Amino acid sequence: MLNYILKRLVYMIPTLIGMSIISFAIIQLPPGDYLTSLLSTLADGGSPIDPATVERLRSQYGLDQPVWIQYGKWMLGILTRGDFGFSFEWNQPVSEVIWSRMGSTLAISFAALLLVWAVSLPIGIYSAVRRNSIGDHVFTFFGFIGLAVPNFILALTLMYVSFRVFGQSVGGLFSPEYVDAPWSPAKLWDLILHLWIPILVIGMSGTASMIRILRANLTDELSKPYVTTARAKGLPEYKVIVKYPVRIALNPFVSAIGWVLPELVSGVTITAIVLNLPTAGPLLLRALVAQDMYLAGSFILLLSVLTLIGMLVSDILLALLDPRIRYN
Amino acid sequence: MEKPVLSVENLNLDFHLRTHILHAVRDVSFDLHRGRTLALVGESGSGKSVTARSLMRIVDKPGVMVGGRIILRTQGREVDLAQLASNSPEVRAVRGARIGLIFQEPMSSLSPVHTIGSQIDEVVRLHSKIDKRAARARTVELLGQVEIPDPAEMADRYTFEFSGGMRQRAMIAMALAVNPDILIADEPTTALDVTTQAEILDLIKRLQTERGMAMLLITHDMGVVAEVADDVAVMRFGRIVETGTVDEIFHAPKHAYTQRLLASTLKLEQPADARAEAVITPQPLLTVKGLTKVYGGAKGFLGTKKFALKAVDDVSLVLHAGENLGVVGESGSGKTTLGRLILRIVEPTEGQVLYRQKDGKEIDVTALSKSELRKFHADVRLIFQDPFASLNPRMTIRQIIGDPLVVEGKLSARQIEEKTAELLRLVGLSPDVMERYPHAFSGGQRQRIGIARALALDPRIIIADEATSALDVSIRSQILDLLLEIQSHLDLSFIFISHDISVVRYFCDRVAVMHRGKLVEIGPAEKICTTPDEDYTRALISAVPNPDPRNKRMLHRTRLASLSTSTVC
Amino acid sequence: MTLTPALDAKLAEDGPAISGLKPGMDPISDAAAGQWTLIWRKFLNQKVALFCGGVILVLYLIGAFAEFLAPGLPDTSRAQYTYAPPQSIGLFTPDGQFQLHVKGYTVAIDKAALRRTFVVDENIIVPVGLFVEGPTYKFWGMFEANRHLIGPLDPTQTMYLLGADRLGRDLLSRLIYGTRISMSIGLIGVCMSLFLGVVLGSISGYFGGWIDTVIQRVIEVVSAMPTIPLWLGLAAAIPLTWSPIHVYFVITIIVSLLGWTGLAREVRGRFFSLRNEDFVTAAKLDGSSERRVIFRHILPSLTSHILAVTTLAVPSMIIAETSLSFLGVGLKAPVVSWGVLLQDAQNIRSISTAPWLLIWPSLAVVIAVLSFNFFGDGLRDAADPYET
């Protein structure tokens, strides 16, 4: 088991390197280097430019050196000092800005993942077992809608509906009066009132695809001989299904995190922009529009790492569930 | 005579399929008596398996029971199972408790993610209200009864840690857990090697007599029937065509189908009459020298040394012109790999394959370039085991048989068509079927098409890899006769790879026996099949069931110490 | 041994007992039906997929004949009609005459909210006709014409069937023009994806070894990264000075760049499993070269799957374009796409004033995506007619 986890960890390293290269490439994409943008911004603002600072930054990020050295310096900075570069828009090191935003991104993604599981598991089982029943068709239809409506449209629609029906504005995580208030049950309730829309929006398409996966896998498993064996034992039908095929169809269900998670993180990004949530999304968009590239690149890198960690967790869960993986 | 423990009366079952309704079981009636074994015999599609399942009311969709009675007489009560809902508590109380079931494929019939012990505990606890610990004690006792070594420890292992034979033993333990009155064994040994088959049949038979159970044995193998059954019912296309005691069926069959089935089986118990004497030439056609294939063994990830497997270990043999050489062995013996190594579908690790061309020049196949290899493949052809997988479903029969000719590029389109028609006639099919697709043909017909394709390039050697094992016994002998007939007017040699000793005996001049990658023994077919020199061969031969109930072979078989205790893999 | 005639008759049975699904119906035979016939038969059974195929066709036709179908031009703005609500077509005028028409507006000032509101004025009748002459356009950028399928008889009058946006532009016309851009991005994007997938897949399969490993790892890395941040990062790098057509192509490339991984993975997986099929081994032993094996035996078995997977990839392309444009880093005015239209519905203020700006473009996106999903699903189910 430990050996297996270790293997997965080692296997992650090239993927991590790949992700960091892509993130760095995005930093490098806009014309002109980061310092020219910084200088022009500062000049626009009329702030005095200290040539010494410019020189220090230039050598710190290796801007006068070949690209791969710049990449090396960036990575070295991250790995040794936790230094992701400098955000000229915020006039702060990126690391100062980024962590709180990543925290809320993680929290919302995780909540959405729990919702995906909690909803798709029973529905998936129902749909597979009662294949082609009316309930199955209804769920399948809603599943398709869930897949077809892009996150941001769903967010806008729910925003409009909630505005119309409840007369409530749903942007942000708190109503204005609670933003700076200390934590209290009322504030928590306010948070929950604000949070259900983003979590629903983010979880929707993931739930739909998980239902489809579970339904397909479970349908396959239901026709396997071991199900007949379980029936031949005299087990009641629900026990036959829950103990055997469902248990085995859970494996692909768990390992599907691997690609549901990137989707969720993706969804958090765009939903947060629409609903103005304090996660990485709005900041990333702003950074990109302003070409604050170290901030943007760092966000992209960290969001990718987040999904990678999620995949590792799913691998470990899978090994716990499936002895065949554990023992090989 | 005591009343039968189970009576089936006029059972009818339909399957509603996409294009038609299949009447899979029609007016089937039979009785099961305590302490006796009824064998339900039939070829594939005869409806025997569905019949067995309907006794437990576990027929899968789209099967529907449309009539009949299934009377179960146990514990002093009579119940008609056919009248009950398939999921009613009454039926569930019968399943596993009054009727136990063993399947063909023990690997897929057991859950891969639960330990063997927990799967048996479950059935024990379900039908007798005892606690966990007592159930486990019972499980361990059962595993001991089915001769699983170290049962307490093995109970905590998973299915994939058991060997095939061990899995089937576990399955038997599960079926017998609650002392059922009836045991249904659905092709219980078909997926197993002959030596394992003999052990499992022994075990089932012994447990049945000890417990006085009634047994319903489903099988296609007349040999197994003769060894195990007391009564026989022969099924064909959903009907029982004949019933009788095993002696009546084997020695005085009344129905023409039974007679034909027996004839095809018995025919394979001796060498074919049609076989021409092979001329042993001083210069062999094909020489295999020290052929070896090692899988794995390279340094693995994280520097761990990976497990190396010698699939074929230093095999040397020769094939003469006009000769039929059989290669027999159990699964994992390396016989299929050997065939593929000769053709270089799999690259050998070591060794040589020398082939004497038409011009008399001997070439080393292992050193051929790609284009030379292509020429070699025109002379040496392969017939596959699975007639369904080996024909491209998207091509017509004309395209499939003509493909090697098209690639060869020597003939015009018209000539290719003529040759294809001729080949079809040669394998006993009408040239009219040329525009059809493989899905329109039965397994035997498809195998004929595969043979026609192999013959298209006028080969000199044909390697037949389990070419008849996917076929029913009557079709099997037809195909073998077809191959012999073709051989009689074409200049052909065969390497016939098979796990089925009777087929090899019927077809081959010489036989090579393989075991765990090594060549154990090679010699004339008659000698290998009657008086072999090696212990392994003797054990193998004597484990083959004999289709004669008056002369049961398996009971007096030679056992190898190393074989009878199958080990955990 | 002699047989009774009854037994003889039973032996004459040469197949299992079957009967038609309904009394008097013969079982269906497909002995001489090829792959595509079988796929087609299987597909015809899927009514929903068939219907969705029709919807997709209609959408592409709308895109193709946008200039003619749209009542007006997409960028004619009329400041006095800011956020004018949708009008509905009436058949009979108040005096009982048959005349297609819409009712005009009068403007009232909402004193409390300090903004203008439109009230439908029953007295103003704007006659509407089919095949009317309207604003002049260049059909496909080539032929000048001024016929429109529907529009006000008097070109100086206005008709807002789906309402107007902030600049008083006709949403219906914009939606129709947007269909062209959004649907074509899906199609072109998927073609590029397919091209990339096939090229890289072939390289991967042909050379094998470390090249295969590298390509596989790249696919793995790209598919593990969350798409929207990545899209944003790439799209944000497009210089603002580029021409719309330039941006259009770069966006298509970006969208397809990230879409090909799934496609490549699927195709590769199927390719490798087919490579081990007996019939492929047989083809090799028949003397076929590697290339012939691939083109004659493997690809024909793959095409139907590729077709299905490709169809299923179109919706993600459409959603990608829409999302990027909506966020302001994709297509930009004056190009009109569904995403660009949705940009006008970005905040709750404009949505609550003019909900139609959200409703209609969203509906277009959802219908397109849904149709492609159902259609592709039907294709996929029909793609392998040989599985049992």
Give B331-368 as a DSSP string: TTSSHHHHHHHHHTSS--SEEEEEEE-TTS-EEEGGG-
- Does C20 score more than 70 pLDDT? no
In whole angstroms, what is the distance from residue A157 CA to residue A175 CA?
Answer: 19
Q: Which amino acid is at C169?
A: R
Interface test mutation site (partner A, options B111, B162, B179, B184, max chain A beta carbons within 10 A): B111
Nearest to B292 by CA among B234, B250, B353: B353
Interface test mutation site (partner A, options C221, C341, C352, C353, max chain A beta carbons within 10 A): C221
pLDDT in tens, B299-341: 544 455 556 788 899 999 999 988 999 999 988 889 999 999 9
In whole angstroms, what is the distance from residue B563 CA to residue B350 CA?
Answer: 29
Q: Assess whether B449 and B541 both reside in one domain.
A: yes
Q: What is the pLDDT of residue C1?
A: 37
Q: Do B440 and C28 lie within an 8 Å CB cutoff?
A: no
In whole angstroms, what is the distance from residue C317 CA to residue C327 CA?
Answer: 15
Q: What is the pLDDT of residue C8?
A: 46
Question: Using CA of residue C346, residue C349, residue C350, residue C353, what is the dihedral sign?
Answer: positive
Nearest to A255 by CA among A205, A210, A301, A212: A210
Question: Considering the domain boundaries, does residue B276 fall inside one?
Answer: no
Instruction: Look at strands B493-498 and B324-329 and give their pairing.
Output: parallel
- Closest chain A residue to C240, measured at CA: A289
Q: Assess whether B255 and B390 both reside in one domain.
A: no
The CA R_g of chain B, rounded to the nearest whole Å, is 26
Nearest to C310 by CA among C263, C265, C356: C263
What is the total count of domains within chain A? 2
DSSP state of C73: -
Nearest to C379 by CA among C319, C316, C303: C303
Q: Assess whether A203 and A171 both reside in one domain.
A: yes
Cβ A265 vs Cβ A198: under 8 Å = no
In whole angstroms, what is the distance from residue B519 CA to residue B513 CA?
Answer: 6
Give the residue from A65, A94, A123 where a domain finishes.
Answer: A94
Q: Assess whether B245 and B344 both reside in one domain.
A: no
Q: What is the pLDDT of residue C56?
A: 94
Q: Assess whether A127 and A151 both reside in one domain.
A: yes
Question: Is C353 near chain A, with CB under 8 Å?
Answer: no
Question: Is A259 near chain C, with CB under 8 Å?
Answer: yes
Q: Assess whether B238 and B303 both reside in one domain.
A: no
Strand, helix or coil at A68? helix
DSSP state of B438: G
What residues contact C225, with CB distance under 8 A and at least 6 apart? A19, A22, A262, A300, A303, A304, A307
Question: Considering the domain boundaries, does residue B405 fall inside one?
Answer: yes
Q: Assess whether A198 and A172 both reside in one domain.
A: yes
Q: How far from each other are the two terminal CA atoms of chain B, in whole angstroms?
A: 47
Question: Is B64 near chain C, with CB under 8 Å?
Answer: no
What mean pLDDT do residues B148-167 have? 90
In whole angstroms, what is the distance from residue B272 CA to residue B275 CA?
Answer: 6
Q: Do C20 and B440 lie within an 8 Å CB cutoff?
A: no
pLDDT in tens, B110-121: 998 899 999 999
pLDDT band at A291 (very low <50, low <70, confident <90, very high): confident
For the record, the structure tokens of C111 come out as: 């004193």
Peptide bond into A122 cis (omega under 30): no
How does DSSP assign B61-124, residue by residue? TTEEEEEEEEEEEETTEEEEGGGS-TTSHHHHHHBTTTEEEE-S-HHHHS-TTSBHHHHHHHHH
Q: Which of A21-35, B163-177, B533-547, C59-73 has the lowest mean pLDDT?
A: A21-35
Cβ C236 vs Cβ C230: under 8 Å = no
Put simply, the chain A residues between 143 and 162 with a CB less than 8 A from any chain C CB are 144-145, 147-153, 156-157, 159-160
Residue A31 lies in domain: 2-94
Q: Do A157 and C370 lie within an 8 Å CB cutoff?
A: no
Q: Assess whether A259 and A238 both reside in one domain.
A: yes
Q: Assess whether B254 and B292 both reside in one domain.
A: no
Q: Assess whether A255 and A272 both reside in one domain.
A: yes
In whole angstroms, what is the distance from residue C305 CA to residue C243 CA?
Answer: 37
Cβ A227 vs Cβ A239: under 8 Å = no
pLDDT in tens, C39-98: 888 888 888 889 999 999 999 999 999 888 888 888 888 888 888 888 888 888 777 788
What residues contact B338, with CB distance under 8 A and at least 6 apart? B288, B291, B312, B315, B327, B497, B514
Average model confidence (pLDDT) for chain B?
A: 88
Question: Considering the domain boundaries, does residue B417 fall inside one?
Answer: yes
Give the residue from A38, A59, A94 where a domain finishes.
Answer: A94
What residues contact A298, with CB distance under 8 A and at least 6 apart? A23, A84, A85, A94, A95, A98
Cβ B24 vs Cβ C16: under 8 Å = yes
Strand, helix or coil at A15? helix
Q: Assess whether B301 and B240 both reside in one domain.
A: no
What is the total count of domains within chain B? 2
Q: Assess whether B290 and B262 both reside in one domain.
A: no
Q: Assess whether B357 and B498 both reside in one domain.
A: yes
Q: What is the pLDDT of residue C27?
A: 55
What mean pLDDT do residues C119-146 have? 82
Nearest to B321 by CA among B219, B213, B459: B459
- Closest chain C residue to B440, measured at CA: C31
What mean pLDDT do residues A278-298 have? 85
Q: Do A233 and B112 lie within an 8 Å CB cutoff?
A: no
**Residues written for chain B:** 569
* CA atoms within a 13 Å half-sphere pointing along the CA-CB vector of A35: 16
Q: Assess whether A270 and A243 both reside in one domain.
A: yes
Q: Assess whether B333 and B425 both reside in one domain.
A: yes
Question: Is C326 near chain A, with CB under 8 Å?
Answer: yes
Nearest to B356 by CA among B312, B404, B318, B405: B318
Instruction: Look at strands B231-236 and B239-245 and give their pairing.
Output: antiparallel
Question: Is A80 near chain B, with CB under 8 Å?
Answer: no
Q: Assess whether B290 and B263 both reside in one domain.
A: no
Give the residue from A66, A94, A122 where a domain finishes.
Answer: A94
Q: Is B255 left (phi over 0), alpha (psi -120 to 50) or beta?
A: beta
Q: Assess whether A38 and A182 both reside in one domain.
A: no
Closest partner CB to C226 (pick from A169, A258, A262)? A262
For the record, the structure tokens of B549 come out as: 């109930």
Q: Assess whether B49 and B142 both reside in one domain.
A: yes
In whole angstroms, what is the distance from residue C35 CA to residue B395 CA?
Answer: 8
Task: Residue A311: list chain C partners with CB under 8 A.
Answer: 224
For the record, the structure tokens of B68 come out as: 């009949």
Q: Assess whether A160 and A264 both reside in one domain.
A: yes
Task: Residue B100: list chain A partners with CB under 8 A.
Answer: 232
CA distances from residue A68 to A57, A71, A298, C290 in whole angstroms, order as listed: 17, 5, 17, 40
In whole angstroms, what is the distance from residue B179 CA to residue B200 CA?
Answer: 18
Question: Is C366 near chain A, with CB under 8 Å?
Answer: yes
DSSP state of C96: S
pLDDT band at C274 (very low <50, low <70, confident <90, very high): confident
Number of neighbours of residue C15 by Cβ within 10 angstroms = 8
Question: Considering the domain boundaries, does residue B389 fall inside one?
Answer: yes
Q: Which of A260-264, B31-35, B80-84 has the lowest mean pLDDT?
A: A260-264
In whole angstroms, what is the distance from residue C29 CA to residue B18 CA?
Answer: 11
Number of neighbours of residue B491 by Cβ within 10 angstroms = 11
Interface test mutation site (partner C, options A24, A153, A261, max chain C beta carbons within 10 A): A153
Q: What is the pLDDT of residue C4?
A: 41
What residues contact C273, with CB distance under 8 A and at least 6 apart? none
Q: What is the pLDDT of residue C9?
A: 47
ipTM for the whole predicted complex goes beyond 0.90: no
Question: Considering the domain boundaries, does residue B257 fall inside one?
Answer: yes
Interface test mutation site (partner A, options C230, C254, C344, max chain A beta carbons within 10 A): C230
Cβ B160 vs Cβ B112: under 8 Å = yes
Question: Considering the domain boundaries, does residue B72 fall inside one?
Answer: yes
Nearest to C41 by CA among C27, C30, C31, C57: C30
Neighbours of chain C (3+ CB pairs under 8 A): A, B
Q: Assess whether B495 and B405 both reside in one domain.
A: yes
Cβ C197 vs Cβ C290: under 8 Å = no
Q: What is the CATH number of the domain that holds B449?
A: 3.40.50.300
Question: Considering the domain boundaries, does residue B298 fall inside one?
Answer: yes
- Closest chain B residue to A247, measured at CA: B113
For the record, the structure tokens of B240 come out as: 């029982």
Q: Do C18 and B378 lie within an 8 Å CB cutoff?
A: no
- Does A11 score more than 90 pLDDT? no
Q: Assess whether A146 and A65 both reside in one domain.
A: no
Q: How many CB pairs under 8 A join A and B?
A: 85
Cβ B270 vs Cβ B286: under 8 Å = no
How does DSSP assign B272-324, residue by residue? -TTPPPPP--SS-SEEEEEEEEEEE-SB-GGGPBPPEEEEEEEEEEEE-TT-E
Tokens 């691997």 correspond to: A258
Q: Do C236 and A291 lie within an 8 Å CB cutoff?
A: yes
pLDDT band at C7 (very low <50, low <70, confident <90, very high): very low
Cα–Cα–Cα angle for C322, C327, C332, nearest 5°?
75
Residue B367 lies in domain: 286-546
Residue B416 or B439, more confident: B416
pTM of the model: 0.83
Distance from CA of A127 to the nearest CA of B (A): 17
Instruction: Look at strands B37-41 and B231-236 and give their pairing.
Output: parallel
Give the residue from B217, B237, B267 where a domain finishes.
Answer: B267
What residues contact A161, with CB distance under 8 A and at least 6 apart? none
Q: Which amino acid is at B98?
A: R
Neighbours of chain B (3+ CB pairs under 8 A): A, C
Cβ B392 vs Cβ B406: under 8 Å = no
pLDDT band at B565 (very low <50, low <70, confident <90, very high): very low
Q: What is the pLDDT of residue B416?
A: 94
What mean pLDDT do residues A268-297 have? 85
Question: Considering the domain boundaries, does residue B57 fall inside one?
Answer: yes
